[in-house]
Amino acid sequence: MKKIYSFAIVFLMLALCNNALAQSEIMYADVNRADVQRMNFEIIGKTASNYLIYKEIKGRHWISVHDENMRELENVPISILPSKSELMDVTFFPSGNGAWLIYQFQKENIVYCEAAKVEANGRILDAPTLLDTTIITYKTDNRIYNTLINADGSKIMLFKINRKDRALYHLSTKLLDNKLEPLYSGTVSLPMNPDGDYLTGYSLDDDGNLVFVKYNRMKSGEIGAASLMVKPSNKDVIEDHSLNINNLYLDDLKVKIDDKNNKYLLVSFYSEKKKGNLAGLYTYAWDKKNNSFAYEKTSSLTEEMLRKGKGKSKSKSAYNDYFINNIVLNNNGGFTVGAEVLYATNYGGMYDRWGYWGSPYFGAPYGGFYGGWYGWGGWSPWSYGWGRFGYWSPYYYYSPFFYRSYWWGDYGYSGSQRFHAGNVALFAFDKDGNKEWDNVIVKSQSSTNTDATISYLILNKGSDLHVVLNNSGKISDLENISINGAGSIFQENPLQAKDKHSEFMPRYAKQINDNEVIMPVLTKKNIQFAKVKL
């Protein structure tokens, strides 16, 4: 009988091991020699049974079509796009069994914004649709329009901001359904203080309301005043909901829309004095359903979190190199904030948090090359207000979904740049903004002249979060760290790269279902793609 029990236990253990192995796997596409490291790409996602990836090299554009086994079926050229000298921006939005390609370009003194439907086979069958035009009197490389999509994919917004009068911005919006049928268009004016007022965090809710933040940044770098701004879907007005910051100094406000619970969330680190050490997290929520204030709270950093998260810094300044990357909505109506240590060295010296505000090379934390933290691109009176690739973060000269390689070694500094991504701090809050738990994932990543393989990806799998990151080594590992609903951290079995020449790029991966992502992989001088099941 004992032998039978022993056999049963061994059998059960083998079955569990086999199940664990079956749950995690990597399926690589073949390396395409045309997909060089300096290629720009965007993982469009899954359409029908195909996976579509947009690629661009030196003005040539195409869509690679892969099947469910990551076999490359076809490379479809995109022939509708104008020349490299005219094209200003491209972006993709999933739509049914396909996607919308929205692009803008300039011919003479007119900027055009057009859209075309990408089919599941990567082809564009119909003629492009003109969405809007803008007359300008200069040649610009900066895009004029910004495009947003809401969480359920039912609405797309096109907007532009005329900033010629720096004391009075004019915001023009065009709301469309997911077939690009117009729902509402209009223009509204927004008073601004030229000495320190900026806009950030543009987001679109499921009702088509435009949500963003207006803030005033002091010369010391901190935010001293801010408001949640809401532009209703069918009115040319802007609702201004001022934050009650009191004696706090906010760092960098992030916006998240919780459509399920009818809330607009704002999150920021804060300090208690100018250029002081970051002391905790500020959270704010607006109740959309009742059009009323929900809560505004602070949560100080505990001694334990300071100890866990100190990284390269001393305890009292442990969080001065942390920047908020994620606000993940939880099933219970709460949310989890992810922040990461980010800094760079060898830019004529090391840049700390305060060095980012007013860098002599970029006028801002790396983003100044494309507009900086002033929130307006170059000297154009028309702008979209994000810096080139999004609201500010020290690594936001990339889009988290669109890998652009323009910046490789081309930021006005001819030396070697070293990028660093350290520990990840996680903070979970309940539906009323009370902190439930916090924890730190310890890591240390560095890379020279590219940040492509550092940082992380967060997957939301039911009640658990998964932090996925590249661990460089003789043969790199893809680490999968799970965090349960109580904040406990578990290290799951890592996935090893196929050889010593390959490194994962999780920050540019795209989640396609609960447990699968399409992930780029840096392989010698090329970028290839893989489907990763976690």
Specify whether the CB–CB gap between 355 and 342 falls below 8 A: no
43: which strand partners? 53
User: How many C-beta atoms surround the C-beta of residue 24 within 10 A?
Assistant: 16
Query: Which residues fall within 8 angstroms of residue 510, CB to CB, at 6 or more apart?
Result: 43, 45, 401, 517, 518
Q: Which stretch of DSSP H or E encloses residue 359? A: none
Whether 506 maps to a domain, the answer reads yes
Residue that finishes a domain, picked among 76, 111, 140: 140
Dist CA 101 CA 94 (whole Å): 9
What share of residues in the chain are helix, strand, coil (percent, to 5)?
Answer: 10, 50, 40
Q: Which amino acid is at 21?
A: L
Tell whether 340 and 434 lie within a shared domain.
Answer: yes
54 lies in the same domain as 16? no
Domain-embedded: residue 88: yes
Tokens standing for residue 108: 């003479």
Measured distance CA(238)–CA(210) in Å, rounded? 9
Nearest residue to 206 via CA among 262, 266, 268, 137? 262
Distance CA 534, CA 532 (A): 6
Question: Which of the 8 DSSP states describes residue 193?
Answer: -
Is 381 within a domain?
no
Quote the number of domains for the chain: 2
Burial 494-505 (b: 16+ CB within 10 A, else e): bbebeeeebbbb
CA distances from 311 to 21, 283, 337, 418 (A): 33, 24, 18, 17
Q: What is the pTM of this model?
A: 0.86
What pLDDT was estimated at residue 24?
A: 80
Query: Comparing C-alpha atoms, which of 425, 415, 445, 460 is closest to residue 505?
Result: 445
Q: Are residues 16 and 42 in the same domain?
A: no
pLDDT in tens, the chain (534 residues): 444 444 444 444 444 444 444 478 999 999 999 999 889 999 999 999 999 999 999 899 999 999 999 999 999 999 999 999 999 999 999 898 899 999 999 999 999 999 999 999 999 999 999 999 999 988 887 889 999 999 999 999 999 999 989 999 999 999 999 999 999 999 999 999 998 999 999 999 999 999 999 999 888 888 989 999 999 999 999 999 999 998 899 988 999 999 999 999 999 999 999 888 899 999 999 999 999 999 999 999 999 999 888 765 555 677 888 999 999 999 889 999 999 998 878 755 555 554 544 332 222 222 222 222 223 233 335 443 333 233 323 333 233 345 654 333 344 445 577 888 999 999 999 999 999 999 999 999 998 877 889 999 999 887 789 999 999 989 999 999 999 999 999 999 999 999 999 999 999 999 998 889 999 999 998 999 999 998
Q: Which tens digits make up the pLDDT trace of 79-136?
A: 999 999 999 999 999 898 899 999 999 999 999 999 999 999 999 999 999 999 999 9
How far apart, in whole angstroms, are the C-alpha atoms of residue 254 and residue 327? 8
> Does residue 53 fall inside a structural domain?
yes
Judged by phi (left if over 0) then psi (alpha if -120 to 50, else beta), residue 178 lies in alpha
Domain end residue (candidates: 140, 156, 187): 140
Q: 468 lies in a domain?
A: yes
* Separation CA 442–CA 422 (nearest Å): 7
Tell me, yes or no, whether 379 lies in a domain: no
> Is 180 among the domain residues?
no
| End-of-domain residue from the set 94, 113, 140 | 140
Residue at 54 is within a domain: yes
Whether 485 and 532 share a structural domain: yes
86 and 11 in a single domain? The answer is: no
Query: Does one domain contain both 8 and 130?
Result: no
Could you tell me the sign of the dihedral formed by the alpha carbons of 267, 520, 526, 474, in that order? positive
**Is 50 in the same domain as 10?**
no
Distances in Å between the Cα of 110 and the Cα atoms of 119, 305, 387 are 29, 53, 22
Q: Residue 15: which domain range?
A: 1-30+319-346+416-534
Domain identity same for 92 and 125: yes
| 26, 126: one domain | no
Local structure of 358: helix, strand or coil: coil
Question: Is the same domain home to 16 and 50?
Answer: no
Are 105 and 21 members of one domain?
no
pLDDT in tens, 270-327: 999 988 889 999 999 999 999 999 999 999 999 999 988 876 555 567 788 899 999 9
26 and 117 inside one domain: no
Do the Cβ atoms of 414 and 326 come closer than 8 Å? no
The predicted pLDDT at position 96 comes to: 86
